[in-house]
Amino acid sequence: MVETETKFTISPQQKVSFERDGFLVLPAVSEEVSKNIVQWTYEVKNLPHRSDAWMHYDEISSNGERTLTRTENFADFHQGFNDLFRGKVILDVLKQLGGEEMVLFKEKINYKAPWAGGYRAHLDATSYTHVAKAKHLSILMAVEPATLENGCLEVVAGSHKLADSPNPIPIGHDYCIEDDWSMKQIWTPVPLETGQFLIFGSYLAHRSAANNSANGRAAIYATYNTLSEGGDMHDEYYANRRQHWPPTADRVPGEKYELGARMFAFGSPMLSVDSSGYREMGL
């Protein structure tokens, strides 16, 4: 079991910053974990396709090449990531910030190959409509450094507070944030070094640009829900996802997976595999 003695104590100032801005950057868990996640990501990326396990998704890059863009549902099949995501260090940090016990809801690795696409402005909560406004927190951990050039995450500080306001963030028919709203906001880039992690909630507006560099990078995301709101929903989430948005290799030819595209792939490079079909759907 991968464990670490590192323990984060969230200061009152950090708690105020998180509640005000909706996100918080923390240092790497440890030098060992920073090294491990690079190796573990390589291992997950190179797992052979299995229809009953991890879920690989492809994209078509700007130069026309088909490339792996994401892997989901791998924690149950990789001991290192399982221990990290479900271990006491991360769960304790989330409890300090969220005020409740949390449990792993989903996990993914996004791979940004050289010249690969970005993600349009969106809210993660739009994908979680089946759990209403359950309280979600996500961690984003950089594998290789995330920079402006290779498309690091960008956020709108304080935008999470609009969820319960009279003027919530407008969501378009494509499930992304409407462009008119996005253009009026101040977007804050969040560059990260290897192992550093960003914590944010599912109602924080965020986006990322394309990787305009000659080097690929990867980013690990783990999302958590409170135990009081549905308990452990990890298996339920992935059963639903596999049904409506299966891994690229499991797609039935000619099937558009319209519901899954709207729920799980809006604004993402995954839509590029059948771009003409999804354009017809307005995505």
CATH number for the domain spanning 85: value is 2.60.120.620
pLDDT in tens, 23-75: 999 999 999 999 999 999 999 999 999 999 999 999 887 778 888 999 999 99
Task: Provide the residue type at 101 as one letter.
Answer: E
> CA-to-CA distance for 218 and 129, rounded, in angstroms?
27
> Does 4 reside within a domain?
no
According to the model, what pLDDT value does residue 126 have?
85
Give the pLDDT of residue 4.
Answer: 47
- CA 137, CA 90: separation in Å to the nearest integer? 11
Model pLDDT, residue 269: 81
Q: How far apart are CA 113 and CA 221, in angstroms?
A: 17
Return the pLDDT at 61. Answer: 74
Q: Where are the beta strands (DSSP E) in 184-226?
A: 188-189, 197-201, 206-208, 217-226
With beta carbons less than 8 A apart as the criterion, state whether 273 and 261 touch: no
Helix (H, G, I), strand (E, B) or coil at 181: helix
SS3 state of residue 272: helix
Q: Is 141 helix (H, G, I), strand (E, B) or coil?
A: strand
Which residues make Cβ contacts (< 8 Å) with residue 16, sequence separation at least 6?
A: none
Q: Are 152 and 146 in contact (CB under 8 A)?
A: yes
* Domain limits for position 74: 12-280
126: helix, strand or coil: helix
Residue-level pLDDT at 280: 44
Rounded mean pLDDT for each run of 10 residues along the chain, 283 residues in total:
65 97 96 97 98 94 84 98 97 96 97 90 83 78 97 98 94 94 98 98 96 95 93 94 95 90 85 60 46
- Whether pTM > 0.85 for this model: the answer is yes
Asked, for residue 5, whether it belongs to a domain, the answer is no
Report the pLDDT value the prediction gives residue 275, as an integer from 0 to 100: 56
How many domains in the chain?
A: 1
- The answer for 82, left when phi > 0, alpha when psi is -120 to 50, beta otherwise, is alpha
DSSP one-letter code for 274 = G
Amino acid letter, 71: T
Task: Look at residue 134 in the predicted model and tell me its pLDDT.
Answer: 61
Q: What is the pLDDT of residue 135?
A: 77
DSSP label of 117: -
